[in-house]
Amino acid sequence: MVVSARSARSPPDSDKVQKDKAGQTSGRRQGSRMGKLLGFEWTDVSSWGRLVTLLNRPTDPASLAVFRFLFGLMMVLDIPQERGLSSLDQRYLDGLEVCRFPLLDALQPLPLDWMYLVYTIMFLGALGMMLGLHYRISCVLFLLPYWYVFLLDKTSWNNHSYLYGLLAFQLTFMDANRYWSVDGLLNARKRNAHVPLWNYAVLRGQIFIVYFIAGVKKLDADWVEGYSMDYLSRHWLFSPFKFVLSEEMTSLLVVHWCGLLLDLSAGFLLFFDASRSIGLLFVSYFHCMNSQLFSIGMFPYVMLASSPLFCSPDRKSNPLRGLREERWVC
């Protein structure tokens, strides 16, 4: 009877142990080599039901929120610059003809005063998205004016601007306001709550596509043979390489071949746990160089801001947890 009474009483921390075990089963599996490399097992994707369960697995919101904050900040800075708010009176004078996209001839710019209102709404939406204030409404307030302005003039199109619109569209459907957000301060239920894994999977997939397509587009004779951007090797950023290489070989090996290999491999390096650290180092160096080599607005910084998305979504191993301040950060 004494033994049964003791067995009936659970140790003080038994509930904690059970929760830890439950967290281990729902979190990243570390048993097999695949679990350590990818964060999931083959059994997790062996059927549609298991795949849905995997994609809805609760994950830490910190990395997603950091990306939301940084992306919103980049858009706040982008609107006066590349979107043209600072030169709006020159871009949209009343009656000014612009080049239209096919099938969008009916889309016309508003009078100049109304265009200022459109840009103001877009700016406030980007600011609200950055702060996580009325998050989904802010995303919509940014997204609709952004695509309207983007589709007004075909001559202003570039793939970076297209990417910003895609990322903002994807963020609209995600729970990126569960951490580092005003919404979390105002609503305790949202504060530091888990987000489903598919939030990370979608954005990671988008960034993977950006890198890989950039690499595929470099697979032409001009790039592979080192003619596309041979002038870049004269930039001061490549001076250290010239201690061991001639200018021609710097252009061929560093500018062209390394650029090609990095774009083709960056997505894979960032995806796998074992290679993520070296991948983050390479892409960070690459984008810092691009910010000095080209006038491409916020693009290098947006890509740098995407790096936290590839950090471990496990709450215990996420390095961004160190950014948390209990007093005001969600």
DSSP letter for each residue of 216-237: HHT-SHHHHTT-TTGGGGGSGG
> Which residue from 62, 70, 131 is spatially nearest to 321, judged by alpha carbons?
62
Q: Tokens for 62, please give them.
A: 């910190």
pLDDT tens-digit readout, 28-65 = 444 576 666 666 677 777 788 888 888 889 999 999 99
> Which residue from 282, 225, 216 is spatially nearest to 249, judged by alpha carbons?
225
Whether 104 is covered by a domain: the verdict is yes
Q: Which three-class secondary structure state does DSSP give residue 196?
A: strand
Identify the segments of the chain with pLDDT beneath 70: 1-31, 33-40, 93-97, 313-330
Let me know whether 189 and 208 are in one domain: no
Whether 29 is covered by a domain: the verdict is no
pLDDT tens-digit readout, 135-154 = 999 999 999 999 999 998 88
Distance CA 260, CA 265 (A): 9
Residue 128, amino acid: G
Decide which of 138, 160, 195 is a domain's last residue. 195
Whether 7 is covered by a domain: the verdict is no
Let me know whether 147 and 242 are in one domain: no
pLDDT tens-digit readout, 177-187 = 999 899 999 98
Output the pTM of the full model: 0.82
218 noted as active-site residue: yes
Whether 328 is covered by a domain: the verdict is no
Which helix (H) or strand (E) element contains residue 203? helix 197-217
Let me know whether 77 and 191 are in one domain: yes
Pairing of strands 58-59, 195-196: antiparallel
The confidence score (pLDDT) of residue 50 equals 84
Decide which of 146, 163, 195 is a domain's last residue. 195
| Structural domain that includes position 80 | 60-195
Whether 237 is covered by a domain: the verdict is yes
Decide which of 156, 174, 195 is a domain's last residue. 195
* Of 19, 190, 217, 218, catalytic: 218
Let me know whether 210 and 183 are in one domain: no
Let me know whether 178 and 72 are in one domain: yes
Distance CA 90, CA 100 (A): 18
